[in-house]
Amino acid sequence: MLFLDSKALFSTMLRSIIAVIGGVAVTLSLAPYNFWPLAIFATACLFALLQAQTLKMSAWFGWCFGLGLFGSGASWVYVSIHDFGHLSVGLSSLLTLVFCGCLALLCALNWAAYALLSHRLITHLRPPASQTANTLHLENTILFAALWVTGEWARTWLLSGFPWLFIGYSQTQQLLGPWASIIGVYGISFLIAITGAVVALFTLQRKSLGAEARLSSINPTKQYSMAFSLLLIWLAPVTLTFPIWTEQASKPNSVTMVQANISQHKKWQLSHRQSSIDLYLKLTEPHWQTSDLIIWPEAAIPIYHDRSAELLRHINARAIASQTSFISGIPSRDSSAGTRYNSLIGLGEASGIYHKQKLVPFGEYIPFGKSLGNLLDFFDLPIANMNAGSSDQQALQSPHWQTTPLICYEVVYPALAVKAAAVSDVLITVSNDSWFGASIGPLQHLQMAQMRAIENQRYMLRSTGNGVTAIIDPRGRITARTAQFKQAVVSGLFFTSSGKTPWGAIGFWLVPSICGVIILLFALKKITGHKH
């Protein structure tokens, strides 16, 4: 008995390690590594591990997978907490571990649901006579993909939202990328998940996961039909020309984006404030006469809007004289209401002000801050503890275009970007990625901005403080960019666009809804099956 228990414990430990490796594989499939086949490997591993498992073990393997995913892909949060929150190494590490562990709990819940709803493939639980083993297997792959997408969608809003590390981003510039204008990142995640599940299904036919999980013989016809259909979907972008859903203007506009590469530590110090502003003005000066649009990044002006009147008047006059639209990040506040915002302001030919709606956990606000008490005193930078802007703000206006910008973290929200694109001729996102240091976070961030450009078939102008600043075309291709941690100026052309893609019209809610319906049908089938 002791030998059997030890063998079972070893098997569980081995599978747990495989689950963690699967989560890490998702991170490696994304930027900056871009080993995209690992996305299929990751989903195949998880699907195989979940077969014939109890509710408890499914939740455990799901948590291990999530810990590998977020521990490898989102641990850059440590930089924000330690370097800019001024917490000790120990406390910063603890908070990062708690953050990743809590996110992994969402994966545990997700895959516990799979154990409840899937057709159990244990030898002593026989399928109803009216159903073949083949149908049961194929249905499980569909449920698996639907739950995967639902889990990603839930992360966009649950616990304030952390829509990071979606597996669909692995295809941003790969085979499935062009599908994004129709089914978006959620639909691509579905295709990757079901592909991995089918790959695992082929493997499981030849080798069981254990004595308790031997699989029935499968009629190959339906299984090969599904595999062939998936292959056609993967190859469609290679063999077909995908339509252009939006209408692009014939006349280009010129844009200049300034990347000053100023240290985050110096940026907010009073002694460096004027030198920072002078550097931006110096780098911008040669481009006033040649640019239709000049963009400074998030919080480029490190002074509250109500205390920057003289500087803003100077920039406004310079922009008007050269008939240039100017956009810059700047903090703003309403002293009477005690609110502070991370904002963008339009000057010269541009007008309006926009307040950021989606804030960065630990960078701009502290999750569960009221429960942390005096710990908030450590977060004393001017950009910390911000308030969220209204969801019904007006677009920034220019004579030739208008845009609802996306500040930093906002570009990772698919639905928010769709809403912005609906009233924008060009998508503009600004960021202060120095919050995340030399981690993989900024490069993941860039990849997500590329996906938003493909989904909405609009140019994306991405201006950052220390990189990567880039012009992204409607196919997600980078036409001009800077390196990270370099003082540089990016100049180039962009075209305005009008109209909506299928993703922008209905896909952003239809794809998650279809996945929800699939899950509901499985739940109803399970309930009615138990009644009989």
Q: How far is 486 from 503, CA to CA, in rounded Å?
A: 36
The pair of structure tokens assigned to 364 is 């701009």
Q: Which residue type does 361 have? A: P
How many CB atoms are closer than 10 A to CB 54?
A: 12
Of the residues 45, 107, 152, 356, only one is catalytic, namely 356
SS3 314: helix
SS3 423: coil
* H-run or E-run covering 149: helix 133-154
* H-run or E-run covering 232: helix 220-239
Is residue 298 flagged as an active site residue? yes
Of the residues 45, 100, 408, 515, only one is catalytic, namely 408
Question: Cα-flanking dihedrals φ and ψ of residue 408, to 5°?
Answer: 50, -110
With beta carbons less than 8 A apart as the criterion, state whether 291 and 324 touch.
yes
Residue 325's beta-bridge partner residues? 293, 348
CA 246 to chain centre: 23
Of the residues 139, 152, 298, 349, only one is catalytic, namely 298
The pair of structure tokens assigned to 470 is 């880039």
| One-character DSSP codes across 77-106 | HHHIIIIIT---HHHHHHHHHHHHHHHHHH
Is residue 515 flagged as an active site residue? no
With beta carbons less than 8 A apart as the criterion, state whether 455 and 180 touch.
yes
Half-sphere exposure (CA, 13 Å, Cβ side) for 363?
20
Is residue 285 flagged as an active site residue? no
Catalytic residue ranges: 298, 356, 408
